[in-house]
């Protein structure tokens, strides 16, 4: 069977989100998803909170939609983030002696799928060596929050290429990085499954049996994107970033002069950018 998954989602179990898990489930069902893969920040989390989070994921899962728990592990003073899809236990990423490689091993032992999140954001990938990344299951080349909803981030595609050229075999992931209910931008990771179970979903992610579909394009799990198309993605991303920055500056200027941005216009802007 082929089903649609929603990846990289944060609820109120993360320090920077107020979304209730039940509201996430309702929204996911509304958009036809069959699986939601959560990625709660481990910053400020405790083993007890993790237990409560996993329990609620299980309670909200049914034969129509699976809610699979997971973590986003903060490493190197919160400059590098590792997505640990499918882990059901709290993992500490700040203890003495913790390295990126040992963190990847810990996720594997916990039964999770290891994906480097938004690698070019804050130049996080520059904190890692090529050897750090060879054992990853995936690299997130398309992150809606830190990029845009229309095309992958060219810099992150190049990271994937470098790791694969160095002997690693990570797959090309996409995620919404969703924190706020009103700022939902649909992205689909379409997975081939033998059955609708967490184990089958995670196995398909590890083996690359999926495609990613966003606003304008889709890409395979291999992340093979032509040089011409990649250049087009970069141009579009720069244009959108420039437009977004201009919009913020204009908004701040108008607000200093007493004008408030209409809610409808602000909602449209959030959906576009």
Per-residue pLDDT of the chain (273 residues), as tens digits, is 999 999 999 999 999 999 999 999 999 999 999 999 999 999 989 999 999 999 999 999 999 999 999 999 999 999 999 999 999 999 999 999 999 999 999 999 999 999 999 999 988 999 998 889 999 999 999 999 999 989 999 999 999 999 999 999 999 999 999 999 988 988 999 999 989 999 999 999 999 999 999 988 999 999 999 999 999 999 988 887 777 666 667 767 767 777 776 665 555 555 555
CB 119 within 8 A of CB 93: no
Residue 122: its pLDDT value, please?
Answer: 87
Residue 248 pLDDT: 62
Q: With b meaning 16 or more CB within 10 Å and e meaning fewer, what string describes 119-135?
A: bbbeebbeebeeebbbb
In degrees, rounded to 5, the angle at the alpha carbon of residue 189 between the alpha carbons of residues 185 and 193 is 145
DSSP per-residue letters across the chain: -EEEEEEEE--TTSTT----HHHHHHHHHHTT-SEEEE-EE-TT--HHHHHHHHHHHHHH--SS-EEE-EEEEEETTTTEEEEEET--S---SSSTT--HHHHHHHHHHTT-EEEE-STTGGGGGGGS-HHHHTT-SEEEEEETTTS-SSS--HHHHHHHHHHHHTT---EEEEE--B--GGG----EEEEE-SSSSHHHHHHHHHHT-EEEE-SS-EEETT----HHHHHHHHHHHHHHHHHHHHHHHHHHHHHHTT----HHHHHHHHHH-
Whole-prediction pTM:
0.91
pLDDT given at position 267: 58
What was the pLDDT predicted at 39?
98
Among the listed residues 171, 184, 154, 141, the one whose alpha carbon sits nearest the alpha carbon of residue 9: 184
Q: Which residues of 242-270 are buried (b: 16+ CB within 10 A; e: fewer)?
A: eeeeebeeebeeeeeeeeeeeeeeeeeee
Residue 170 near residue 130, CB atoms below 8 Å: no
- What pLDDT score does 240 carry? 78
**For position 100, what pLDDT does the model report?**
97
Pick from 113, 89, 119, 138: nearest CA to 37: 113
Phi, psi angle pair for 142, to nearest 5°: -140, 110
Contacts of 235 (CB under 8 A, 6+ apart): none
């Amino acid at each position: 069977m082929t089903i649609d998954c929603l990846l990289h989602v944060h609820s109120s179990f993360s320090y920077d989100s107020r979304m209730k898990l039940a509201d996430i489930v309702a929204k996911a069902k509304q958009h036809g998803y069959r699986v939601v893969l959560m990625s709660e920040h481990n910053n400020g989390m405790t083993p007890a909170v993790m237990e409560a989070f996993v329990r609620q994921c299980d309670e909200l899962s049914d034969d129509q939609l699976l809610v699979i728990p997971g973590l986003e592990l903060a490493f190197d003073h919160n400059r590098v983030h590792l997505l640990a899809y499918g882990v059901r236990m709290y993992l500490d990423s700040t203890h003495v002696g913790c390295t990126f490689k040992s963190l990847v091993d810990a996720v594997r032992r916990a039964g999770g799928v290891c994906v480097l999140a938004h690698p070019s954001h804050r130049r996080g990938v520059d904190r890692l060596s090529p050897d750090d990344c060879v054992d990853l299951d995936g690299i997130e080349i398309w992150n809606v929050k830190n990029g845009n909803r229309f095309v992958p981030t060219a810099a992150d595609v190049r990271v994937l290429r470098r790791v694969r050229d160095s002997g690693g075999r990570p797959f090309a992931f996409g995620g919404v990085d969703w924190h706020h209910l009103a700022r939902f931008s649909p992205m689909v990771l379409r997975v081939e499954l033998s059955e609708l179970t967490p184990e089958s979903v995670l196995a398909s992610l590890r083996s690359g049996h999926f495609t990613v579909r966003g606003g304008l394009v889709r890409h395979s799990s291999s992340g093979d994107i032509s040089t011409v198309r990649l250049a087009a993605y970069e141009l579009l991303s720069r244009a959108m970033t420039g437009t977004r920055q201009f919009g913020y500056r204009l908004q701040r200027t108008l607000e200093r002069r007493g004008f408030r941005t209409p809610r409808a216009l602000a909602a449209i802007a959030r959906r576009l950018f």
